[in-house]
Amino acid sequence: MKETVTETPIEQYAMEWIEKELIPGAMIGISQNAVPVFEKGFGFRNVEAQLPVTADTVFGIASMTKSFTCAGIMKLQEEGKLSVQDSIVTYLPELKGSSKQVEQITIHHLMTHTAGYPPLATHVYARKNSIEQDPSAKDYGLDLLNNPGPHIETYDEMLAFMANDDFKWLGAPGDYYSYSNDSYGLLGVIIARASGQSYEAFIEENILIPAGMTRSFFDMKRLDELDDVTTLYMKAKDGSHVYEAPLWWDAPSMRAVGYLKSTVHDILLYLEMYMNEGTVEGVRILSKESIEQMMTPHMEYEPGKCYGYGLRIIPDYFGSKLISHGGGLKGVSSYMCAIPDKKLSGVILTNVADVEAGDLLMDALNKVEGRPYDVSPFTYDTVPVTEQELRKFEGVYISGEGMNVEVAIRDGQFGLESNGFFRPLRCIGKNVFMGTEDNSDILQFIENASGEIERIVYGGRHIMRQPSGL
């Protein structure tokens, strides 16, 4: 009998990749026309008890939640309760006096990460209770422990913090893309106020339940009530081993940022909404027009890569539009994608942080479509640059979210050090670099009016350069 998909090679490739990355448990699902073409669990949801991973295992999905938040906004727009072009101060008057810029920000700007906010510490303080209770926080990929700021437990506390925080705007609304958890925290408040419900209840009633996502939820209590829920793991900072770290982090005031829990089966159901013009198994969730708005490339953040509403978009992915989003949080590395015109979708969920899970999913998708595993739709030529030119980029760059990176020349090699690891970089254009692997993130250096480097765009975020000597 002829194999429908080269399952064995994909399975073998994934197993080797997962073992190399020290991932305790992972689940991959790829479907076409709502029919599974590859579905496989790897490792364990609990290593000690040797409990297997299944397509119904509950994982955190982290920032994949952002598209659900935007779907909620679109639902409210359909109901006439708001417009994406509304000023945010209509719903968040507490911000009105903080600066003139705030009054120019629309809901659209929040959804596309173009409001002008630099990365603030809001999300760090929103999950501060979890961080303080978790000894594994020391090994997380961001510096979350050296933050003397307040606990942010409520919407009022979040709004007060963002209204009074002392920061410099990146630019006018719409000028720059900078991935902003702060913006999505505000979207959660807007959904609650425009709907008259809690953010969580509105998303559940209008997206999760009608889509048939029966094992997807925000309520932390359900983690103890359900079977087939993963244990969380943390990778030691030196990358040598992984250990059990069972405490789930929560941020009650910022659940819109990344705190949905879900399964591979449920996410594949959800992705049908984008491939079927707003319906899931015949049930209409959003209008065709809302789905089109969400999948519109509103802002290009890297050459050939754009952001829609809670979705990353590659308009030309081997001739088709690809939508996707990943997520990373304590005990979570996740990624989902869909090619709507081919009715092809995929998702990977894992139970450890700081893993490029999306790379593995896209490699598997390549194989399903008959391409080599690691082929990319983008190629970048290396541009020669002198050591003298490279010196102007050297420095330490720090964000309010806990990201701390140093750009330097080490042993004759120009690169970036983050979280104790040095990564070589190559120049691909004026002030633009990437890692030596073709699928690496692109890094951009931004100059001020005097031609001096003032910030780096790393991980999609604008991170400010620190004065030398600090």
pLDDT at 234: 97
pLDDT at 361: 98
> In this model, does residue 401 exceed pLDDT 90?
no
Separation between Cα atoms, residue 379 and residue 431, nearest integer Å: 17
Q: Averaging pLDDT over each range in 164-168, 175-179, 235-239, 403-407, which range is the top one?
A: 175-179
Range with the poorest average pLDDT among 108-117, 166-175, 213-222:
166-175
Instruction: Give me the amino acid identity at 184.
Output: Y
Can you tell me whether residue 340 is helix, strand or coil? helix
Contacts (Cβ under 8 Å, ≥6 apart) of 454: 446, 447, 448, 464, 465
pLDDT at 469: 53
> In this model, does residue 189 exceed pLDDT 50?
yes
pLDDT at 2: 40
pLDDT at 6: 41
pLDDT at 407: 96
pLDDT at 418: 85
> For 293-334, how does the pLDDT look when each residue is reduced to its tens digit (9 = 90+)?
999 999 999 989 999 999 999 999 999 999 999 999 999 999
Bigger pLDDT: 276 vs 419: 276
What are the Cα distances from residue 119, in Å, to 11, 50, 244, 400? 38, 40, 30, 6
Contacts (Cβ under 8 Å, ≥6 apart) of 234: 136, 139, 140, 242, 243, 245, 330, 331, 352, 353
pLDDT at 213: 98
Mean per-residue pLDDT for 271-289? 98
3-state helix, strand, coil in the chain (%, to 5): 30, 25, 40
Q: Minimal CA–CA distance to 332: which of 59, 65, 138?
A: 59
Mean per-residue pLDDT for 238-263? 96
Q: Averaging pLDDT over each range in 164-178, 327-341, 437-451, which range is the top one?
A: 327-341
> For 408-430, how does the pLDDT look when each residue is reduced to its tens digit (9 = 90+)?
999 999 999 987 889 999 999 99
> For 33-72, how does the pLDDT look when each residue is reduced to its tens digit (9 = 90+)?
999 999 999 999 999 999 999 999 999 999 999 999 999 9
Residues of the chain above pLDDT 70, percent: 97
> In this model, does residue 98 exceed pLDDT 80?
no
Structure-block tokens of residue 14: 């994934």
Mean per-residue pLDDT for 378-399? 94
pLDDT at 232: 98
> In this model, does residue 260 exceed pLDDT 70?
yes
pLDDT at 152: 96
pLDDT at 439: 57
pLDDT at 142: 74
> In this model, does residue 17 exceed pLDDT 80?
yes
> In this model, does residue 238 exceed pLDDT 90?
no
Domains, the chain, in order of start with CATH, read 59-368 (3.40.710.10), 387-465 (2.40.128.50)
Separation between Cα atoms, residue 31 and residue 9, nearest integer Å: 17
> In this model, does residue 272 exceed pLDDT 90?
yes
Instruction: Give me the amino acid identity at 452.
Output: E
> For 337-381, how does the pLDDT look when each residue is reduced to its tens digit (9 = 90+)?
999 999 999 999 999 999 999 999 999 999 999 999 989 999 899
Q: Tell me the average pLDDT of the chain.
A: 94
pLDDT at 247: 97
